[in-house]
Chains A and B, each alone.
Chain A
């Protein structure tokens, strides 16, 4: 049983397009996150939701919009994709905010913008 799942695993698209990545966790966790890992493997948090409420919103272009329909799902929508958006995007979850940092990660979505 997959704890944190993401779809799609690979996403290749052209500049200017809009795309979404979906994430689901079946761990019963309260808190979910989106991370971006660049080509040098540097990992940076983008957003965090706790019980469907946005609580962390790092310096991310407003072309990126997270949506949490319920506490088991956190989707990421990206408008007007740019070359620099190419990266691996990871969804993660933790039991709650106290466990922020001790997270379960999904397998990642490799986004390539051409």
Chain B
């Protein structure tokens, strides 16, 4: 069974600074990978997904993520954070064969300070 780890429970960055949120997965083959954002009291919004192809994936709101098979990682990045990016971020992994299952990480809460 696959699993996903988001090592950072809480991250604080200054507005305008760069951001990297970590995500590590465990799965025997190449997985499908996703990043979601959840603002307080809201549902989750898909930022980007990786199914195959180019390992650097561009998403919405200026986010990108890079799939690194050797490190079993799919870290989310943004060059310059805006105050409106403060939210909870979830990484998710889906197996690419057999009974389909999506597993979500426990989330990273991003705080942005002026």
Contact = CB atoms under 8 A, between A and B. Distances in A.
A40 B42 contact: no
Contact of B88 (A41, A97, A106): A41
Interface in A75-106: 90, 92, 97, 100-106
Contacts of A15: none
B11 interface: no
B58 interface: no
A106 B102 CA distance: 17
A55 to B, nearest CB: 8
A100 B43 contact: no
Contact of A105 (B45, B49, B102): B45
Interface string A24-55: 00000000000000001111110000000000
A4 interface: yes
A66 interface: no
Which residue, of B32, B42, B49, B104, has the highest number of chain A Cβ atoms within 10 A? B104
Contact of B43 (A41, A56, A106): A106
Classify the interface of chain B: helix, strand, loop or mixed.
Answer: strand
Contact of B90 (A40, A43, A92): A43
Contacts of A56: 100-101
B111 interface: no
A26 B92 CA distance: 25
Which residue, of A45, A56, A103, has the highest number of chain B Cβ atoms within 10 A? A103
B46 interface: yes
B104 A42 contact: yes
Interface of A: 4, 40-45, 56, 90, 92, 97, 100-108
Given A56-B101, A100-B94, A101-B32, 4 more contacts: A42-B106, A43-B90, A104-B46, A108-B41
